[in-house]
Amino acid sequence: MPLFYIRHRTHYLYSGLVIDSANQIKLYPVNDEFQRVSEHRLVISSNPTVTTIRDYFGNTTGFFTVLAPHSQLAIDNMLAVEMLAKPDPVKTLSPSEVWKQVTNSENQLRFHDFIKAEEARAQQEIQQAVHEILSKVQHPLDTIVDLSNYIYENFTYKKGITNIETSVDELWNLRAGVCQDFAHLLLYMLRLMGVPGRYISGYICPGSSEWRGEGATHAWAEAWLPDTGWVGIDPTNKCIAGERHVRLASGRNFSDCTPVKGTYKGSTEHRLEVTVQFGTQAFSDDQLANSTPTFSSGSNVEEGVPRNSYMAYMQMQQQQ
């Protein structure tokens, strides 16, 4: 039962004063029987009042505004999470019965938000790859794991070649990307089969063996089957999500789960720094004060045009 301490800092630095900063945050870790949150603290510069609601997908979502002129905005998300081992998914139904129940009208209506696949020119090629794996007589969960393995083995983990607008078609042609892209592709494959799939945002914590994307924000997929329920599948690391996968939010795609997004007015230039730290004990003041940003980026915008920090933030976060 590992206990992870996580610090996730989002820091905007503006070249001049900005006003009317309105923000939405999804930085509230899931608290359930497999992920117990023992501590969670949000520290935001200017100390604004944060109002929280449950969104359509059940995610705790915070909203705050900073109206007064300011030259920076820092959002520190501090949490301690105890991760409990999940039992292996229990496959109690025959493959034919699972497919029958997954595709019946009741479940198709129940999970309609997680079933509709986007349009893609490469659909026929992707469908062919899916069919080759579907041809095996096995439980659908094993088929889904095979699809995840297919992505792991045929796509290169490479930062900096995709962005938040990279489509399934572009990814299919590039044959490379990062965790967000691989989760995106796996969800597309699931939906082509009629299997409900949802996007998960969170963190992948360091462990005894090295995984791709560890020590940073992370993304993977969950698939629903009638006998196993929701099962997390990480195509970036060719595994079922487990004790090192800390969940923040879920939705149809990454835009439903964005940790931080917002808008502001003013300043022709800004810089974004994102710091993610992990530990097995509480961070010291010195560790927090002397941390180095994990990622940073800058951008230029036209004078007087409201800025969308969501675009810059996701441009940064997806490269992990």
pLDDT of residue 136: 87
pLDDT of 314 higher than 70: no
Q: What pTM did the predictor assign?
A: 0.90
- Using alpha carbons, list the distances in angstroms from residue 295 to 6, 76, 111, 271, 301: 16, 15, 36, 11, 20
pLDDT of residue 86: 87
Domains plus CATH for the chain? 3-83+258-317 (2.60.40.2250), 95-241 (3.10.620.30)
| Higher-pLDDT residue of 117, 294 | 117
The burial class, CB within 10 Å (0-12 / 13-18 / 19+), for 312 is buried
CA-CA-CA-CA torsion for 196, 199, 205, 206, nearest 10 degrees? 80
- Using alpha carbons, list the distances in angstroms from residue 286 to 292, 295, 307: 12, 20, 33
**Angle in degrees, CA 129, 318, 163, rounded to 5:** 75
For 26-61, what is each residue's pLDDT tens digit?
999 999 999 999 999 999 999 999 999 999 999 999
For 128-160, what is each residue's pLDDT tens digit?
999 999 888 899 999 999 999 999 999 999 988
pLDDT of residue 209: 67
**Cα–Cα distance measured from residue 18 to residue 41, given in angstroms and rounded to the nearest whole number:** 26
